[in-house]
Structure 1
Amino acid sequence: MSEAIELPANGKRRRRDGGAGLLATIAYLVAAVCLLPMLAVVLAAVTGGTDTVSHLLDTVLPRYAGTTLALVALVAAGTFAIGVGAAWLVTMTRFPGVRVLEIMLVLPLAFPAYVLAYAYTYLLDHPGIVQSTLRDVTGWGPRDYWFPEIRSLWGAAAMLVLVFYPYVYLLARAAFLQQSSAAFLAARTLGKSAWAAFWTVSLPMARPAIAGGVLLAVMETIADFGTVAYFSVQTFATGIYTSWFSMADRAAAAQLALCLLSFALLLAVTERVQRGRAKYHEAGKRQMAMEAAQLEGWRAVLAMLLCMIPVVLGCVLPALVLFAMGMGGEQDLLSRRYIGFIRNSITLAGTAAVVTLLAAIAIGFFQRLRPGRGSAVAGYVARLGYAVPGGVIAVGLMVPFAAFDNALDSWMRATFDISTGLLVTGSIWLLVAAYMVRFLAAALGAYEGGQSTVHANMDAASRSLGETPFGTLRRVHLPILTPSLLTALLIVFVDVMKELPATLIMRPFNYDTLAVQAYRLASDERLEGAAVPSLVIVAAGLLPVILICRQVGRNR
């Protein structure tokens, strides 16, 4: 069938498609790249043979599963308690410093969990400041006292809770602010105490948002590698890295990655189902806003302390410790070597941010231009990457492209007696593709949030004036969406700066970043040196957190 042609007012013949076909091709290609690592992991795991599976079942798999589940349970409970408790206090009560604390409670989000692990190890480990001072003051020997071991499952859970509770806090706070006081006051008039009314009315009404925040924290937990590896906590994430590098067993790495992928996708489906079913309806839209209770005396002091503790432990204290460590680290940020680390980090983060943003624009605008099953599937597949740990994505991309490179090299040797080497595997672009798969959901969420403010009538008006879909995107959407686009760009940039497992597995030879340098120094127990690149990563992470804090301040 021939393509329809329209004649605009300027007299030039223009295709009615206007580039929509190219946009669909790009969107489906992006979705295919996002789906490739998951399919590759499944295929590599299935074809890896049963010997490896039997060996894993008899040796490490039960330990990996038990440790991962225990870590998930601890982080879920901790983020729920801190996030919901802090959100309720700053939203529903008034005490000295509440306006400042409701913003500062977001700050720990700027810290990678493995950076917190370095700081607290330096502070609390046996040769650290706290235990050394304790021994000096009391005269005790190493075996004369008991002190909690920071390098343990509980220590790793504490680091992850301090970093990830802001996810729960932000969503719970928004849910509490949107609640009407009608149901809460009705419970109070029926004889319920404020505490009982909170548990039986306010908390169930906010459950969808809270569950979404907890599940997000849990998905980040199973994706974490730096913290658990440094604390020698054996999870699926550390098992994948050990199998790939230490044992050179790709089948074992793929099969462990499949286990982790299944768990991550189960969590993603659970989040989607609970969000779709858990709903509540009010008779009106916030007809009576919740009135905050004024706390006085010891109650005000207790509320202030409860909100200050996660801020101090998750932000203030680690920042001070890292700064003190960095002063004695003998690491020169202006040296040629460190300038190379910074350049590599910025190059990777900047390139990945731009590529990911362009992919998000293609997916988001395609969904708006051609709403239907195809675009909906492409959008859903594009979001799956955020639920998949970086180590799984790395293995899923390395396996097929390594096979492609080896097959191409063999054919070129046999045909032309020329070795092509590894053209794709170990390249920057494959690493950028992994970053895009991992963080596309974050960029897509920011883009769609801005796109929702662009009324459909603007599209219709633009098309009636002869603009193509690409013209409408370039001249109408993008100028309006500039703030959302910059936010998406910044979020992906900082996420890539902090990403460790995918970078460790896929980086080109002798191409190290700040995150890799910090991990290497910490692995060698050179914690003072690791503080310097860690501080740079934290400084970069503060940028999106400041944007979030500004939004928190406006939403009161």
Structure 2
Amino acid sequence: MSLESTSLPRTRATRDGLRGLSVLALLAAMICALPMVAVLIAALSGGTETVRHLMETVLGEYTRTTMLLVLMVSVGTFVIGVGTAWLVTMTRFPGVRILEIALVLPLAFPAYVLAYAYTNILDHPGIVQTTLRDITGWGPRDYWFPDIRSLGGAALMLTLVLYPYVYLLARAAFLQQSGTTFLAARALGSSAWAAFFKVSLPLARPAIAGGVLLAVMETIADFGTVAYFGVQTFATGIYTSWFSLFDRVGAAQLALCLLSFALLLAMLERVQRGRARYHDPARRAQAMPPAELKGWQAGFAMFACGVPVLFGALLPIFVLFTMGLGSEQNLLSPRYLSFIRNSVTLAGIAAVVTVTAAVAIGFFQRLRPSRLSRGAGYVARLGYAVPGGVIAVGLLVPFAAFDNALDAWMRDTFDVSTGLLITGSIWLLIAAYLVRFLAAALGAYEGGQAMVHQNMDAAARSLGQTPIGTLRRVHLPILAPSLLTALLIVFVDVMKELPATLIMRPFNFDTLAVQAYRLASDERLNGAAVPSLVIVAMGLLPVILICRQVGRGK
């Protein structure tokens, strides 16, 4: 039974509540669509001369490095995520209970924070090369050492922080598989490795592909890591065109290229998820008995699962803490308190606004299942596939034009300057965060909403509750844990977000992420460690919640 089947009179309060909910949901969807539309219009308005110039100069290099980065991160996250998920799910070895949770910890780190830590260790004046020269007596030109500030170094940093996406989804898929088909393959003579590649891996393919695509979307959206390492990708090209070359049309056309690639990935993920159908022919699911590993096999499993945790979380924390102790940054100084206040203010407002929009869209889809509501939900989810730099350009172009036009009109009419009324405030930045992270909040909300049966809605309506009353008195109390998770996820994502914040922040309104990036750009890595540690500490909040879910997964 649904809300539509309950024959109750349509009161004015009911109509007003539904209208308000519909307007809020459609407004959020329109805000999510605005950057994409604005980028398209701005790019097409530039003519072919700018496109030709980009093709002759930087477009080929941006395309090559972006594709190579995506390829390396895809392979790295696949190997680490799937391999560790299989080991902690299907085998038993010393420390497996700790490692299955600890493998999620690198998710708390922005990739650019890892870049700062490993540059301090592996760069020419770092402890590794300094110790090597002290032991061997070599000079700077007497040996070769891999350059961390390179395309490979950026891929390594991104792989270390993004493999948990693949690990979490692959582990969940392996836990849900019945052991019947795997045991049948073993009974027919296949080795454990052959059964894994022929049975378990194909069954988990949709989940693994979804995790890899999430990692790829984060890779093409990354700015802090590639900018610090000097890797020329579309993300760095957009920022350079906008701020260094003051070429708004070129930035919009680069953003359109990146947007097209991101939307293509989103469509591929949706298609592969929608077409995937796997059924267990057994009448009763049989849990897969974990294999007990001993000797060198247990040692290899501990090493394989421990290395990503060591290099993705434990070592960076130790390095950043050591660097922070040697810096002159004072977290209690008025300047740093201002950074923290600005970061928390942006993250808090963005989390509340984004989760409110997610509730409006999700409940609108439940109340009025139609093409309009489904379209609003689809557009809202597209924002996660759009890099922060693209969103920034897409919002700044129309609103900067509006600000300039309004200021000119006010000057001519009233001899009063309005200045940057919208682009000079934090609200446009909040809108960018809404576009970027609404999909994450919507996913958390809908996951909890699945627990609310339609009969509860019908019962509430039969007792005289309006739809808004049903949402307030029935849904929200049940969905409180899911909404809290959504709030924390958006809060921490905003704390880590760099490209949109760097491009769109109001004058003299810096955050911890911007301060870390500025200090690192000036090669003051010890100073950059302090705001980076605060960002990581904030990032541990949702990761702890995820770890609790991982611990309950079995």
| TM-score, with structure 2 as normaliser | 0.98
**1:152 alignment counterpart:** 150
Q: Secondary structure at the match of 2:152?
A: helix
Deviations 1:203-259 (A, max 9, x none): 000000000000000000000000000000000000000000000110000000000
Alpha-carbon deviation of 1:18?
Answer: 5.1
Match of 2:209 among 211, 220, 227: 211
Alpha-carbon deviation of 1:160?
Answer: 0.2
Match of 2:370 among 372, 394, 397: 372
**2:3 alignment counterpart:** none
**2:99 alignment counterpart:** 101
* CA distance, structure 2, for counterparts of residue 275 and residue 155 of structure 1: 31
**2:381 alignment counterpart:** 383
Alpha-carbon deviation of 1:419?
Answer: 1.7
* CA distance, structure 2, for counterparts of residue 166 and residue 344 of structure 1: 29
> What letter corresponds to residue 295 of structure 2 in structure 1?
G
Identity of aligned residues (%): 77
Alpha-carbon deviation of 1:178?
Answer: 0.6
* CA distance, structure 1, for counterparts of residue 295 and residue 228 of structure 2: 43
Match of 1:244 among 242, 249, 253: 242
Match of 2:321 among 320, 323, 333: 323
**2:182 alignment counterpart:** 184
Contact 1:514 1:534 in 2 (8 A): yes
Contact 1:179 1:286 in 2 (8 A): no
* CA distance, structure 2, for counterparts of residue 289 and residue 169 of structure 1: 20
Q: Secondary structure at the match of 1:17?
A: helix
**1:83 alignment counterpart:** 81
**1:163 alignment counterpart:** 161
> What letter corresponds to residue 511 of structure 2 in structure 1?
T
**1:536 alignment counterpart:** 534
Pairing of 1:355-434 with structure 2 (within 5 A) = 355-434=353-432
Deviations 1:62-121 (A, max 9, x none): 000000000000000000000000000000111000011000000000000000000000
Unmatched segments (≥5 aa) in structure 1: 1-5
**1:220 alignment counterpart:** 218
Q: Secondary structure at the match of 2:281?
A: coil
Alpha-carbon deviation of 1:352?
Answer: 0.4
* CA distance, structure 1, for counterparts of residue 437 and residue 155 of structure 2: 24
* CA distance, structure 1, for counterparts of residue 11 and residue 242 of structure 2: 56
> What letter corresponds to residue 426 of structure 2 in structure 1?
I
Match of 2:17 among 19, 42, 55: 19
1:113 aligns with 2:111: yes
Contact 1:18 1:470 in 2 (8 A): no
Deviations 1:36-64 (A, max 9, x none): 00000000000012221111000000000
* CA distance, structure 2, for counterparts of residue 149 and residue 361 of structure 1: 47
Moved over 6 A (4+): none
Deviations 1:238-281 (A, max 9, x none): 00000000001100000000000000000000000000112211
* CA distance, structure 1, for counterparts of residue 244 and residue 449 of structure 2: 46
Deviations 1:454-481 (A, max 9, x none): 1111100111111111111111111111
Match of 2:57 among 52, 56, 59: 59
**1:235 alignment counterpart:** 233
Q: Secondary structure at the match of 1:424?
A: coil
**2:333 alignment counterpart:** 335
| TM-score, with structure 1 as normaliser | 0.97
Alpha-carbon deviation of 1:329?
Answer: 0.9
Contact 1:459 1:472 in 2 (8 A): yes
Alpha-carbon deviation of 1:416?
Answer: 2.1
Contact 2:259 2:387 in 1 (8 A): yes
Match of 1:133 among 131, 134, 137: 131
**Alpha-carbon spacing, 1:285–1:109, altered in 2? closer, same or farther (3 Å):** farther
**2:301 alignment counterpart:** 303
**Alpha-carbon spacing, 1:540–1:285, altered in 2? closer, same or farther (3 Å):** farther
Alpha-carbon deviation of 1:182?
Answer: 1.3
* CA distance, structure 1, for counterparts of residue 104 and residue 280 of structure 2: 29
**Alpha-carbon spacing, 1:16–1:107, altered in 2? closer, same or farther (3 Å):** closer
Contact 1:18 1:468 in 2 (8 A): no
Deviations 1:362-388 (A, max 9, x none): 001101111111100000000000000
Q: Secondary structure at the match of 2:15?
A: coil
Contact 2:14 2:467 in 1 (8 A): no
Alpha-carbon deviation of 1:14?
Answer: 4.7
Q: Secondary structure at the match of 1:146?
A: coil
Contact 1:86 1:307 in 2 (8 A): yes
Match of 2:38 among 40, 43, 66: 40
**1:3 alignment counterpart:** none
Alpha-carbon deviation of 1:17?
Answer: 2.3
**1:195 alignment counterpart:** 193
Aligned residues: 548
Deviations 1:277-330 (A, max 9, x none): 122111247621111100110100111111000000000000000000000011
Unmatched segments (≥5 aa) in structure 2: 1-6
